[in-house]
Amino acid sequence: MADTATLPAGGTADTARVGFLNRLRSGDAIAHLLTLAFAAVILLIAGMVVVELFRSSSEARHRFGWTFFVTSGWDPVAGRFGALPFIYGTLVSSAVALIISVPIGLGAAIFLSELAPPRISDALTFVIELLAAVPSVIYGLLAVFALVPLVRDYIYPFLHGTLGFLPLFQGPTYGVGMLTAGLILAIMVVPFVISISRESLLAVPNDQREAALALGATRWESTWHVVVPYARLGIIGSIFLALARALGETMAVTMVIGNNPQIAASLFAPGYTIPAVIASEFTEATSDLHLSALVELGLVLFLLTIVVNAFARLLVLATTRRGTARP
């Protein structure tokens, strides 16, 4: 009969107990360890990026400390570096981009999810999502050669003429400036707002719409009062993702922001953003301190986008986990 004397007595047989060699032979451990090693590379990269950014910016950080973020002058020759204009420019251009792109993006998303017949909606969404794949320099070309004349010859006269009393719209322009940069940024982030908002809206259960309609609401009322609030977490998430993209956008902005490290109230005045100054000055940096200051700007940008992104993903995660917004 069974030679049970030589077999281990029955005890708890964990998956682990089966023996490391056994699993190694079964190839399980090899697959696990090999792929894990490659996956861990990404942690290595993330760590190295952070370390290198800190290291390369150390000269500037030690020289200027916290005053870096609140000083305004940027004079490479004299060795004075203040980050405020760039932080200001980055934030303002992104804000302009959001102010323009969110209503339009949300409106388009509503149309695509609630009103358009499915085939048309899919076709239009297909085209809009292609826009997300257009490289930044191409948008830059559009900005420089089509948008700048547009701002200079049409938008500026109109806004300056009608609303020129506002500090926002005062002063002369050459077509480049904060508004133009905000416009091209808006064009670039709108596909993201549309895409994610549309999916959030589509995820709203149909019985919500039907409940509103059954109470006599019009399609629009049911959409605006019921569907959109239900999907608000995903929509807000899309806005934050759009913000993160706008903050880091480099090429198109560099080409139309005007490259002037000043803080001005007017949207028509030239300005500067963090990515733009890095792109423009890095290869021409006159000193190690200059380079270090630019890297510190890059570090600020890095941390800023990480925070915004983390927050955005939390929102989108909350949408998918719980269904959608709690009332």
In the window 209-248, what residues touch other proteins (CB under 8 A)? 218-221, 224, 241, 244-245, 247-248
286 touching other proteins, by CB under 8 A: no
Between 26 and 67, whose beta carbon lies closer to other proteins? 26
User: Is-contact 92 178, C-beta < 8 A?
Assistant: yes
Q: Interface residues for other proteins in 109-128 (CB under 8 A)?
A: 110-112, 115-116, 122, 124, 126-128
Interface residue with other proteins, options 177, 192, 249, 268 (CB under 8 A): 249
Q: Interface residues for other proteins in 149-208 (CB under 8 A)?
A: 187, 190-191, 194
Interface residue with other proteins, options 97, 231, 295, 325 (CB under 8 A): 295
Beta bridge partners of 81: 74
Interface residue with other proteins, options 234, 258, 261, 275 (CB under 8 A): 275
d(Cα 313, Cα 9) in Å, to the nearest integer?
51
5 touching other proteins, by CB under 8 A: no
Sign of the alpha-carbon torsion through 140, 144, 148, 149: negative
For residue 325 the two structure tokens come to 């917004």
Helix or strand or coil: residue 80?
strand
d(Cα 125, Cα 146) in Å, to the nearest integer?
25
Instruction: Say what angle helices 178-202 and 118-131 make with each other, to 10 degrees.
Output: 140
Q: Is 218 left (phi over 0), alpha (psi -120 to 50) or beta?
A: beta
318 touching other proteins, by CB under 8 A: no
322 touching other proteins, by CB under 8 A: no
d(Cα 311, Cα 233) in Å, to the nearest integer?
11
Beta bridge partners of 74: 81
Sign of the alpha-carbon torsion through 65, 70, 71, 72: positive
Q: Rounded to the nearest whole angstrom, what is the least distance from the CB of residue 76 to other proteins in the complex? A: 16
Q: Interface residues for other proteins in 62-101 (CB under 8 A)?
A: none
28 touching other proteins, by CB under 8 A: yes
Beta bridge partners of 75: 80
Interface residue with other proteins, options 5, 11, 62, 65 (CB under 8 A): 11
Interface residue with other proteins, options 67, 72, 79, 137 (CB under 8 A): 137
251 touching other proteins, by CB under 8 A: yes
Query: For the chain, what is the radius of gyration of the CA atoms?
Result: 27
For residue 260 the two structure tokens come to 């002037």
Between 179 and 193, whose beta carbon lies closer to other proteins? 193
Q: Rounded to the nearest whole angstrom, what is the least distance from the CB of residue 82 to other proteins in the complex? A: 20
d(Cα 113, Cα 198) in Å, to the nearest integer?
6
Which range binds other proteins by CB under 8 A, 63-71, 73-81, 105-113, 228-236?
Answer: 105-113
Between 140 and 271, whose beta carbon lies closer to other proteins? 140
Between 168 and 217, whose beta carbon lies closer to other proteins? 217
